[in-house]
Structure 1
Amino acid sequence: MAENKEEDVKLGANKYRETQPLGTAAQTDKDYKEPPPAPLFEPGELSSWSFYRAGIAEFMATFLFLYITILTVMGLKRSDSLCSSVGIQGVAWAFGGMIFALVYCTAGISGGHINPAVTFGLFLARKLSLTRAVFYMVMQCLGAICGAGVVKGFMVGPYQRFGGGANMVQPGYTKGDGLGAEIIGTFVLVYTVFSATDAKRNARDSHVPILAPLPIGFAVFLVHLATIPITGTGINPARSLGAAIIFNQDQAWDDHWIFWVGPFIGAALAAFYHVMIIRAIPFKSKA
């Protein structure tokens, strides 16, 4: 038993080829090698410590993500005016900055998904197994619920009074507007994830250093700037679910389906685009 444990620790997250780490180069040389698609089911993962370690990393990352971002939103709502607080730009920076930091921290452990839509997109592109995808999504949602719960514990009255950071379609916009904003916003995010972590691109442009968490975090920032006035910006079903459960008011549930359907459609479109367009580009290694 001890020998098996030691072997598992040595091999770590590489024992099973669960995902392409988001923030690390995919190749060690200039030649591009297409990684084999992940199997649909990989039962052996369930006996590997690296599998559970990755799930814990996703839980903690999503917990911290909700904690910091919802606190930032609450600070904005409690202010007398946008000028006396961080403003919408500050909220967007909080979301984008936390994604940058957390993807950087967890990339080598779980792949740094922190978002069921990202996990779903990578699953459709066969970059991780169904077993791991489901486990990640469950841990992300649990982390989000706990993160929002801690924020409510700090400020019970203001939390309920100011909407708890829950995503809702804002007045003046239709459900169709909200769904479209979530689809396009998530497409931008997941498309950026695929582009920033593409093994073919890393091999072809090895002379250009790319730190994957940076463009991913910046994409989150830009999408928030564009869609906060429409839906409060979901593009992350776990973030929307955690805030809705802890806030637990009718208005948070009325259009909640939008914050699952929209991101999953956007992620599926990004995965399709990646497989059909990005991965299909011919590649010749440099001499």
Structure 2
Amino acid sequence: MAKDEVMETGGGGDFAAKDYTDPPPAPLIDAAELASWSLYRAVIAEFIATLLFLYITVATVIGYKHQTDPAVNSAADAACGGVGVLGIAWAFGGMIFVLVYCTAGISGGHINPAVTFGLFLARKVSLVRALLYMIAQCLGAMCGVGLVKAFQSAYFVRYGGGANTLAAGYSKGTGLAAEIIGTFVLVYTVFSATDPKRSARDSHVPVLAPLPIGFAVFMVHLATIPITGTGINPARSLGAAVIYNKDKAWDDQVEHYLFTCTLQTTVPFSC
């Protein structure tokens, strides 16, 4: 649109250059990046952020299941105990808001291989950076869930280890569709919140980018926790499946979550 390309500067019909700057496309392979400390600092930030994300969120899930276990608590306590699905959704959305805010200036605050993959397809990050980010995110997720298992060893296996599994009564196709749509919502929000054109157009309405991203995670969790437990983050799903290491978790992991990154590839091209 013309509004994206130029900005009128006065009543005389004069026009100036567009009031935002498009960053140049990232190179596909940037070998020089490997010699830059900023790359490794960003990779470390992604590792730590994903570790903290999984530790807080999976611990919340395990704690909720323990508090609502009728075998441990009275019927009244089990029916009304814990943070509930709403609280779990807030834990995921709130942690994403906090961690994206903290790491955006270091690594871009991806904390999700699906986000990294989408940004790579849009030429926002190089292949080298994308691969290192995704490795760091998956390792961070495993370490975060490992901490939960170490601290809550009495409850971890009993309550499913926070792993994503398909709920009874839902087909695998339904679970897959829910994950595709949820991941699309998240990645689409990331692209919208970080679009330089939007920032220039709507400069009179300042928006903190981590806020809509966190809310997107929150809303998707409300919708899909009853179906799949909500993946939308391959590192989150993989980390929990690796540490929990049970057949049900692995079956649903292979069927649904490992394909999440590739099935939302239309997002970069629709923004």
TM-score above 0.5: yes
What are the within-5 Å matches in structure 2 for residues 49-198 of structure 1?
49-80=37-68, 81=78, 83-198=80-195
Distance 1:247 1:206 in 2: 46
Distance 1:113 1:194 in 2: 11
Residue 263 of structure 1 and its aligned partner are, at CA, apart by 4.2
Q: Structure 1 stretch 96-105 or stretch 77-86: which is displaced more?
A: 77-86
Residue 83 of structure 1 and its aligned partner are, at CA, apart by 2.0
Q: Structure 1 runs of 4+ off > 4 angstroms?
A: none
Residue 82 of structure 1 and its aligned partner are, at CA, apart by 5.2
Aligned to 1:220: 217
User: Secondary structure in 2 aligned to 1:161?
Assistant: coil
Structure 1: which amino acid aligns with 2:37? Answer: W
Report if aligned partners of 1:76, 1:82 keep a CA contact under 8 Å in 2.
no
Residue 247 of structure 1 and its aligned partner are, at CA, apart by 0.4
Structure 1 position 264 matched with structure 2 position 236: no
Structure 1: which amino acid aligns with 2:85? Answer: I
Distance 1:65 1:157 in 2: 21
Aligned to 2:246: 249
Calculate the TM-score normalised by the size of structure 2: 0.88
Calculate the TM-score normalised by the size of structure 1: 0.83
Structure 2: which amino acid aligns with 1:135? Answer: L
Distance 2:85 2:43 in 1: 32
Structure 1: which amino acid aligns with 2:267? Answer: A
Residue 148 of structure 1 and its aligned partner are, at CA, apart by 0.2
CA gap of 1:61–1:82, structure 2 versus 1, over 3 A, is: farther
Distance 2:176 2:266 in 1: 14
Distance 1:130 1:206 in 2: 32
Sequence identity percentage: 69
Report if aligned partners of 2:231, 2:237 keep a CA contact under 8 Å in 1.
yes
Distance 1:165 1:82 in 2: 20
**Where does structure 2 lack aligned partners over 5 or more consecutive residues?**
1-16, 69-77
CA gap of 1:82–1:46, structure 2 versus 1, over 3 A, is: farther
